[in-house]
Amino acid sequence: MGIIAWIILGLIAGAIAKAIYPGNQGGGILATMALGIVGALLGGWLGSALGIGGASAASAGALSIPGIIFAVLGAMIVIFIWGLVTRRAA
């Protein structure tokens, strides 16, 4: 059930991260959803692996304040990496 919660949270976190992240990221709604899901999973994994700031709460129930924070941070990291990859390709 935790993975499903992170996927749902990733849809929201992708939109939040894209709004917060400066610059033009390109991509449409599907790219935003995919990057948000990957970012939320990455953020949840990093939070539980590092064990910082309520990470156990973030990994146990993704729909909590620490879960949202980790998901948005993870989505921002993925958007940054995606920007580096697509900038080189274009």
CB 74 within 8 Å of CB 44? yes
User: Is this model's pTM higher than 0.75 or not?
Assistant: no
pLDDT tens, residue by residue, 38-89: 888 888 788 778 776 554 544 545 577 877 888 888 888 888 888 888 876 5
Cα 65 from Cα 71, distance rounded (Å) = 10
pLDDT tens, residue by residue, 10-38: 888 888 887 887 766 666 778 878 888 88
The pLDDT of residue 30 is 81
The pLDDT of residue 88 is 64
